[in-house]
Amino acid sequence: MTKSFFVSILTLCLSAIPLAIASNSANAAPQGAGSSFKYVELNKIGDPADVLEVKDGVAPSLADGEIRIAVLAAPIHPSNLLQIAGNYGTAAVLPSTPGSEGVGRVLELSPAVTHLSVGQLVLLPGLGTWTEQLVVSAAGVIPLPDLGKPDAAVIEQLSMTAINPLTALLMLTSYVDLKEGDWIVQSASNSAVGGYLIQLAKQRGIKTVNVVRREGLAEDLMAKGADVVLVDSPDLAKQIATATNNAPVVLAIDAVAGETFSRLAESLSTGGTLVAYGAMSGKAPVLNTGTVIFNDIRVRGFWLSKWFQTASMAEKQGAFGQVIPLIASGDLAADIDSRYSVAEIKQAVTRAGQRGRNGKVLIVPNAY
């Protein structure tokens, strides 16, 4: 999916959400044309820590219809690292600045732009956000409602609005008609998507079995609303049956692949659905065809880019209309492991690629 397609879809689908113009121009930093800024550039495919470069840029003047933005926060997603390494479903554009989402504050407007104001917070979908400053078309950003003076925690959460919360919501609601009291199971439960899914399920009265690959994560997941937390093992299906008192498990969501994929399939009740959206183990999924045949298991795949291409406008408006208010109000949040400046990109991507993190790694180019 191209950047322009992603931007146009998001801009259109959020047109149904009521927006207010912020008027806090006093917060805008003096970063106009001619000022210097740092940005990350990708010129070749490879290990992110080896191939990403930090460069100095000079802010250009605004063309008609453009705006200048100070990037406040931008996450590093596994998909970013995979694409930089050449292991993703779509190839990276070279040269380019990575970063698939973020949040920023408007610094300057060209005269033709009248629907935004200096100081306003905006979402930055697909705009190459690992940079201190952006000059983009005003049509490419998503204005946020007037949130007053949000604290740093809210700003950081808003930077992660467009990908993981939406992924969790859609997997929870698109494949099975879940009812209050139903049981589901997911792997990679301590991931950002996993945390969002726990919170969304809890709000709907849906019970979750949450599978992780190491000890020491149960307390945090239970605080988010998890009902059961289990460490992956060969007898996982048996553990799930015991934990749920043999209740039917109607939906399984997997981001690990390998043997975990098969174990989740074996935990499903007859007619259950298994949704795959990742392969964190780096291994191909293993699946017992007997389980699929005799238990009538349905296997589905989820890719957010494909959803943007196929969902109706009403579906897109409905999905974003649910997640943005929840994030802005603090009712939907992700853990944050660490924060790095643009100049520290090599340390940032190294940390983002490590196992054992407790949350998302953020690039924080400017003070909030």
Q: How many residues does the chain have?
A: 368
Label residue 301 by pLDDT band (50, 70, 90): very high
The Cα 210–Cα 291 span in angstroms is: 21
Q: For residues 251 and 236, is the Cβ–Cβ distance under 8 A?
A: no
pLDDT digits (tens, 9 = 90+) for 232-243: 999 999 999 999
Give this prediction's pTM.
0.85
Is the pLDDT score of 27 beyond 70?
no
Computed over its alpha carbons, how large is the radius of gyration of the chain? Answer: 21
The arithmetic mean of pLDDT across residues 261-285, rounded, is: 96
> 3-160+333-363 domain in CATH 3.90.180.10?
yes
pLDDT over 90 for what percent of the chain? 80
Question: Which among 60, 67, 61, 59 has a CA at the least distance from the CA of 112?
Answer: 67
Question: Which among 198, 137, 125 has a CA at the least distance from the CA of 162?
Answer: 125
**pLDDT score recorded for residue 362:** 98
Q: For residues 57 and 36, is the Cβ–Cβ distance under 8 A?
A: yes
Position 318, amino acid: G
Average pLDDT, the chain: 91
Determine phi and psi for 269, rounding to 5 degrees. -80, 170
Is the pLDDT score of 353 beyond 80?
yes
Q: What is the DSSP letter of 131?
A: B
DSSP bridge partners of 249:
183
Residue of higher predicted confidence among 103 and 367: 103
Determine phi and psi for 168, rounding to 5 degrees. -60, -45
Instruction: Kindly tell me the burial class for residue 77, based on how many C-beta atoms sit within 10 Å of its own C-beta (0-12, 13-18, 19 or more).
Output: buried
Instruction: For tokens 């070749």, name the residue.
Output: 44
Instruction: For tokens 């000079």, name the residue.
Output: 58
pLDDT digits (tens, 9 = 90+) for 303-341: 998 998 898 888 888 898 899 899 999 999 999 999 999
Is the pLDDT score of 22 beyond 70?
no
pLDDT digits (tens, 9 = 90+) for 86-95: 999 899 999 9
Q: Tell me, yes or no, if the two domains 3-160+333-363 and 164-302 fold the same way.
A: no
Q: What is the DSSP letter of 96?
A: B
The Cα 280–Cα 258 span in angstroms is: 9
Q: For residues 182 and 243, is the Cβ–Cβ distance under 8 A?
A: no
- Residues taking part in catalysis: 88
Per-domain residue ranges for the chain?
3-160+333-363, 164-302
Determine phi and psi for 212, rounding to 5 degrees. -130, 170
**pLDDT score recorded for residue 206:** 98
The Cα 360–Cα 351 span in angstroms is: 10
The arithmetic mean of pLDDT across residues 297-302, rounded, is: 97
> 164-302 domain in CATH 3.30.230.70?
no
Is the pLDDT score of 85 beyond 80?
yes
Q: For residues 365 and 131, is the Cβ–Cβ distance under 8 A?
A: yes
Instruction: Kindly tell me the burial class for residue 293, based on how many C-beta atoms sit within 10 Å of its own C-beta (0-12, 13-18, 19 or more).
Output: exposed
Q: For residues 366 and 72, is the Cβ–Cβ distance under 8 A?
A: yes
CA distances from 223 to 9, 157, 227 (A): 35, 18, 10
**pLDDT score recorded for residue 269:** 98
Question: Which among 160, 171, 257, 165 has a CA at the least distance from the CA of 208?
Answer: 171
**pLDDT score recorded for residue 316:** 82
